[in-house]
């Protein structure tokens, strides 16, 4: 095994207990429980903030598609967007990866015909 893959080999399989499957807009998705990911990182690097951690590099609300009802635009969907920078130490050197995440904050409920706000979108 390549030394470069040593961390990957330790974390590449996720315990099914920590995977949540769902359907979003007709697509099957799966997400890993974030606490399980923190536990794995802690197992490898120790307590958060010492040899690994994260920073919010960017955070914003993005206006999305218009909602049109009876030919009139009545509002827009809104998506909470975050760019997270995960940093870590390997052999005394600091590395990092960045990733964007998006969560619907305000969206139109086609079933109920009103806007829904997810007050916990930033979590």
pLDDT digits (tens, 9 = 90+) for 42-76: 999 999 999 999 999 999 999 999 999 899 999 99
DSSP3 helix / strand / coil % (the chain, rounded to 5): 20, 55, 25
Give the pLDDT mean for 104-122.
89
Which helix H or strand E contains 73, and what residues bound it?
strand 72-90
pLDDT digits (tens, 9 = 90+) for 36-51: 999 999 999 999 999 9
Range scoring the smallest mean pLDDT among 36-40, 78-82, 116-120 = 116-120
> Whole-model pTM?
0.75
pLDDT surpassing 90 at residue 121: no
């Amino acid at each position: 095994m390549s030394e470069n893959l040593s961390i990957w080999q330790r974390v590449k399989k996720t315990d099914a207990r920590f995977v949540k499957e769902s359907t979003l807009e007709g697509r099957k998705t799966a997400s890993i429980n974030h606490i399980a990911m923190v536990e794995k990182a802690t197992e490898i690097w120790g307590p958060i903030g010492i040899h690994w951690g994260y920073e919010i590099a960017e955070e914003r609300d993005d206006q999305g598609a218009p909602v049109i009802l009876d030919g009139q635009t009545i509002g827009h969907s809104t998506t909470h967007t975050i760019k997270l920078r995960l940093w870590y130490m390997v052999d005394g050197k600091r590395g990092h990866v960045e990733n964007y995440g998006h969560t619907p904050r305000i969206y139109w409920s086609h079933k109920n015909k009103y806007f829904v706000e997810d007050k916990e979108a930033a979590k």
